Chains A and B, each alone.
Chain A
């Protein structure tokens, strides 16, 4: 079961990394995901049915996703739409486009060679999936690690962090945002193409809930692996994708009906959003107690004194990072 989750998780990893790019690097919640994921699947399966190799088809899927990202990026930057609305518009429009590409709601592969068929037929499907997923994910992670060492990557990070400062330093922030959308949705579509090959079909409804899956995996990944270095963060995304798949497989193994998986995804997302907050609260309380004991004050600090908790927070080294992050979020609003 774990082995299957690893394989599937690796196929989902490009999607999680794509969501990470917009959500974490550019600080944009991008809903295009729900449209670009099935777009990748539709393009990949259709071009394979038209005789293209699985590799070419997957790359075309990636490019299709980039195009979808470009549209959202233009709506966001040039037409100054709120990014949520821009994503919703592209996603809605993509439904029709995906239907046109596929011709009907569900298109199965016939006897076309998918990527895993390039490997020796004697190997088990799990091993094949892990190898193909692993190779592609490694390539994606390595390219992004390289990208974020270049001036372009630095400009992308700066744009997401402080757009006014970036513009003042000569970065055309609109371009950066569009590039970010394109890369992100390209990877999401790539993931869609891989999943479609693994399932053996493309389906018009396969995008539903992918943004929740993506966000939950990003947050799960950050709980397990956190650091400032970009390769650690990207590896965290891969780990997040795998663990998330494993959680779903576990749930299904416990007899969870397939139709209820979406609500489970939503609940998991809520939990992983709340978990770090509760963790911080608990740590703060513990450290505050320890600090007060050190300076000789009789403790018993509970949550009945929230104002004291907040004022002492900044004195405690372990919490500085989180505190600073929250402060900055408030200022951003």
Chain B
């Protein structure tokens, strides 16, 4: 497989179960190490590097809302963890004077009422709230690459729609390079400027721009059944 994602791309990745979408995403994120081949992120060779090392360029929103946040910690503490400019071995206090106000402003932009719940433990939030928080955390430090791993699949239809709209808004506003795995063809068609279809570990379809905009769900369905 050979895939190059250009800066500013919003790539939707679709494919059957077992096609290799998640393997692709996990290899980029670093949870899986490739047997052979090379992986570059933002000009750095990261093929064998750990997840933590890559995190300075790569952010990720997990499928399971519980995975992307630490449930026992408060909303504010979770956000602090996402501010990656301080090393995790630092012995400086993590609470800063301006923090509460800054976080409240950020959370207010999510429109989920989280700005009043800075000190609430994340485990008491709803799935949608947790996922929106995950999204905010993943994009807080302006990553070079944002990975979305079916991040709306565990949510109810309404919340899923809200989180997707939120994703679009954040990605557009921060000009993020994004790769989104999804099983929802409509999302893959609606969002992003590029669509990649994976099958049997190979790229079966890679369309962008105009061609992608003309793509119909029925075209994709045809490819799926091949």
Contacts and interface: CB of A to CB of B under 8 A. Distances in A.
A261 to B, nearest CB: 34
Contact of B60 (A149, A168, A175, A331): A168
B52 interface: yes
Given A161-B73, A170-B56, 20 more contacts: A150-B91, A152-B88, A154-B94, A161-B71, A162-B66, A164-B62, A165-B62, A165-B69, A166-B81, A167-B50, A168-B29, A168-B51, A168-B59, A168-B62, A169-B81, A171-B52, A171-B88, A172-B52, A228-B121, A320-B124
A169 B95 CA distance: 17
Interface of A is mostly: helix
Interface in A286-333: 320, 324, 328, 331
Grouping DSSP codes into helix (H, G, I), strand (E, B) and loop, the B interface class, with mixed when no group exceeds half, is loop
Interface string B77-119: 1001110101111111111000000000000000000000000
A154 B87 contact: no
Contacts of B89: 151-152, 155, 175
Contacts of A171: 52, 81, 88
Contact of A158 (B50, B66, B70): B70
Given A167-B52, A324-B124, A155 B81 contact: yes
A74 B81 CA distance: 25
Contacts of A165: 62, 67-70, 81
Interface string A236-272: 0000000000000000000000000000000000000
A259 to B, nearest CB: 40
Nearest to B83: A169
Contacts of B93: 149-151
A157 interface: yes
A151 B123 contact: no
A176 interface: yes
A149 B90 CA distance: 11
B55 interface: yes
A170 B70 contact: no
Interface residues of A, number: 28
Contacts of A158: 70, 73, 77, 81
B16 to A, nearest CB: 25
Contact of A155 (B67, B71, B88): B88
A169 B88 CA distance: 9
A37 B124 CA distance: 38
17 contacts: A151-B90, A151-B93, A152-B90, A157-B70, A158-B70, A158-B73, A158-B77, A161-B71, A161-B73, A162-B67, A164-B67, A168-B62, A169-B81, A171-B88, A172-B50, A324-B124, A331-B66
